Chain A
């Protein structure tokens, strides 16, 4: 016990020390305001430290297993450690898309492929965008993801550098999705990457984002991502996040959404890669008539651990939110679903729905499902349900009596179970690769 605390402190102290090194690498043209923010975030990180399991928010996910490693971030700028041919395999066939590539959290001009130059959408690194849209950047950056109480967000904010800024001006409806290819290059041991993304969809705009997380190399890595999303009035934003990192990858992903009136946010969070994954997905419904849909699926094997942590904050009346998560847990894997819904005092006529269904394939797999409803208004419709069980024997037998062997029957049923989530994704080529990936994962794992 004492030992892990010491190790944790080591990583913490080391990374704080590295801040100087980081400052030296930063371009001198770096905005003063941004840098003050970083320094403030670092102070908060120092005070907060990493969470332990006494922290209610981290009860089921042991960060000791992550922070016992001493991770290092590579601050050198303008270098890309990967070749185009190494990442080609991560592209989605038959999909017209703008592709923004991040390697270890850094935007890569060379690897990215932004076709859309119609000024209907701006996709670039922080550095570039600050030149053209510094007002928008400053209005929104670090305004939604709270670094004062969340230590991983504090750490990310302290080292926020050159990730992706996406801005869709008012009224623009973007047909082709934007792929954010978030690659951990772990050829060097203990790589720390801290992507920091800011996405703004203007009034009456719409855009679809595909957040793909992959690993190159076989060493340990920690991907501590923060993505802030501002959905302005009447905009529609789809975010599909795929966690497909390697066996030695740790992933702490925080997506903080801020929704204004009549905006619609649809998301699917699909996790089947990584060693320990924490998907924080939070939305503040800040204007009336908002709709917020969180879907998620996770398919785990070996010793994988996935923690889906969601928060829907109904701050105003007449909004609706739906959450639908499904998990398949094999071997010794562990899943967590922690779904918090806050309905504030004024948020009358709120409709909030939450469901989590899980299948355990072994006696040694475990699922912790915890709905948290904090309702302060009286005229609301709120429902939640969680079930965890085994594969249905009668269904299995039915398939087998039609000549389908046991293994194939299991895969068929599990595939059907998880595909309900994938089915809702609106991008066909993405759906197709996800179906393939799901099938492969099930074939290997069950």
Chain B
């Protein structure tokens, strides 16, 4: 589904991604872990198409197409979804209207008629129920005055509404209480199927107990320095990142 080859990217002339290689296949879930500042959100932003990043080398192929050539909206329309680490507040735009516009823009792109009001409301209700989001919330302005946890839940609600092929969850677990974490993880698990894929960025093993990954990658200083199965996450939980950093340093100096 997605192939990232030797991806290097700068922000303001500072190299943040230093040669990322990653293969994502349909039906699989990938965890990306790594210390603060290692470039996890940067990778997510580059994949979603945020401006201000300069890709200096490498390529990203998504379903046979050069992803980096596409606008953010076209990436979304082709099935890429980013659940933000820090969701933005949009005063004046209700969640309902936002999702209506979003779904219909995607449908228009795919040559479909706008969704009728009845179907839309049913979808809204179903997906709100999936992540146990109070439908009253959907009348509120996007993220305005939401608690940290509510914002994260709203991201997964949107994910459920848009039913993307490739979902990137950037620290969706941070800010969620234990019960909410379970609910959101259950929601995600119900959405998993053999034609979609998830990249789950997290610091904590706990989320991975619920959303069990097929692969775990460790990002350090802009590179994937370790890959393994779900056991790697357990190991990191116990020993931290120091040993990874040490190994990486040795690898670089030798």
* A406-B105 Cα distance, complex, nearest whole Å: 11
CB of A379 to closest CB in B, whole Å: 33
Determine whether the beta carbon of A404 is less than 8 Å from that of B73: yes
B90 touches A404 (CB 8 A): no
Contact B84 A408 (CB under 8 A): no
Which of B76, B77, B105, B141 touches A408 (beta carbons < 8 Å)? B105
**Chain B contacts for A394, CB-based, 8 A:** 88
Q: Which residues of A contact B75 (CB under 8 A)?
A: 401
CB–CB B92/A403 < 8 A: no
Report the nearest A residue to B89, measured CB to CB. A395
Chain A residues numbered 394-446 whose CB sits less than 8 Å from any CB in chain B: 394-395, 397-406, 408-409, 412-413, 415-417, 419-420
| Given A397-B72, A413-B93, residue A404 in contact with residue B101 (CB < 8 A) | yes
Instruction: Indicate which residue in B72, B99, B109 contacts A400 across the interface (CB closer than 8 Å).
Output: B72
**What is the CB-to-nearest-CB distance from B48 to chain A, in angstroms, rounded to a whole number?**
5
A416 engages B93 (CB within 8 Å): yes
Asked if A393 CB lies within 8 Å of chain B CBs, one says yes
Instruction: Give B38-58 interface residues, CB cut-off 8 Å to A.
Output: 48-51
Complex Cα distance A102/B141, Å? 41
Interface-centre pick from B48, B84, B88, B99 (highest chain A CB count, 10 A) = B88
Q: Which residues of B contact A409 (CB under 8 A)?
A: 73
CA distance A293 to B81 in the complex (A): 43
B90 and A398 form a contact (CB under 8 A):
yes
Across the interface, do A416 and B91 meet the contact criterion of CB distance under 8 Å?
yes
The chain A residue with its CB closest to the CB of B103 is: A403
- Determine whether the beta carbon of A395 is less than 8 Å from that of B50: no
With A393-B51, A397-B50, A412-B101 known as contacts, the answer to whether A402 contacts B90 (CB < 8 A) is no
Q: What distance in Å separates the Cβ of B92 from its nearest Cβ neighbour in chain A?
A: 3
B87 interface contact, C-beta 8 A: yes
Chain B contacts for A397, CB-based, 8 A: 48, 50-51, 72, 88
Give per-residue flags for B85-107: 1 if the beta carbon is below 8 A from chain A beta carbons, else 0: 00111111100001101110110
Residues on B with beta carbons closer than 8 Å to the beta carbon of A401: 48-49, 72-73, 75-76, 81-82
Residues of B in contact, count (CB < 8 Å): 31
Residues of A within 8 A of B199 (CB): none
B158 at the interface (CB under 8 A from A): yes
Q: Which residues from chain B contact A420 at a C-beta distance below 8 Å?
A: 91-92
Q: Are B102 and A395 in contact (CB under 8 A)?
A: no
In-complex Cβ contact of A398 among B87, B91, B106 (8 A): B87
The answer to whether A398 and B88 touch across the interface, beta carbons within 8 angstroms, is yes
User: In the assembly, what is the distance between CA of A398 and CA of B102, in Å?
Assistant: 11
A406 to B77, CA, bound (A): 13
B176 contacts chain A at the CB level, 8 A cutoff = no
Known A393-B51, A397-B50, A397-B72: A402·B92 in contact at CB below 8 Å: no
Tell me the complex Cα distance, A151–B91, Å.
42
The answer on a CB contact under 8 Å between B90 and A400 is no
Contact B88 A395 (CB under 8 A): yes
**B residues within 8 A CB of A404?**
73, 101-102, 105
When distances are taken between beta carbons in the complex, the residues of chain B under 8 Å from A415 are: 92
Shortest B49–chain A CB gap in Å is 7
Min distance, Cβ B214 to any Cβ of chain A, angstroms: 25
Q: Is the CB of B158 within 8 A of A402?
A: yes
CB contacts (< 8 Å) of B84 on chain A: these are 398
In whole angstroms, how far apart are the Cα atoms of A198 and B51 in the complex? 55
User: Is there a chain A Cβ closer than 8 Å to B36's Cβ?
Assistant: no
* Contact status B92-A416, CB under 8 Å: yes
Central interface residue in A404, A415, A420, by most chain B CB within 10 Å: A404
Is B207 on the interface with A (CB-CB < 8 A)? no
Q: How far is the CB of B142 from chain A (nearest CB, A)?
A: 8
B162 within 8 A of A: yes
Instruction: Provide the residues of chain B in CB contact with A392, threshold 8 Å.
Output: 88
Q: Report the Cα distance A435→B51, complex, angstroms.
A: 31
- Which residues in A have their C-beta under 8 angstroms from that of B88? 392, 394-395, 397-398
Which residues in A have their C-beta under 8 angstroms from that of B72?
Answer: 397, 400-401
B193 at the interface (CB under 8 A from A): no
Known A-B contacts A400-B73, A405-B73, A406-B73; A395 and B90 likewise in contact (beta carbons under 8 Å):
yes
CA distance A437 to B211 in the complex (A): 48
Instruction: Write out the residue numbers on chain B whose beta carbons fall within 8 Å of the beta carbon of A413.
Output: 90, 92-93
* B71:A400 contact, CB within 8 angstroms: yes
Instruction: Report yes or no: A402 in contact with B162, Cβ–Cβ below 8 A.
Output: yes
A412 in contact with B76 (CB, 8 Å) = no
Given pairs A397-B50, A405-B71, A409-B73, 6 additional interface contacts (CB within 8 A): A401-B72, A404-B102, A413-B90, A415-B92, A416-B92, A417-B92
A interface, CB within 8 angstroms of B: 392-395, 397-406, 408-409, 412-413, 415-417, 419-420
Which residues of B pack against A, CB within 8 Å?
Answer: 48-51, 71-73, 75-77, 81-82, 84, 87-93, 98-99, 101-103, 105-106, 109, 141, 158, 162
Please list the 3 inter-chain residue pairs (A to B) with the smallest Cβ-Cβ separation, ordered nearest first. Answer: A416-B92, A403-B76, A400-B72
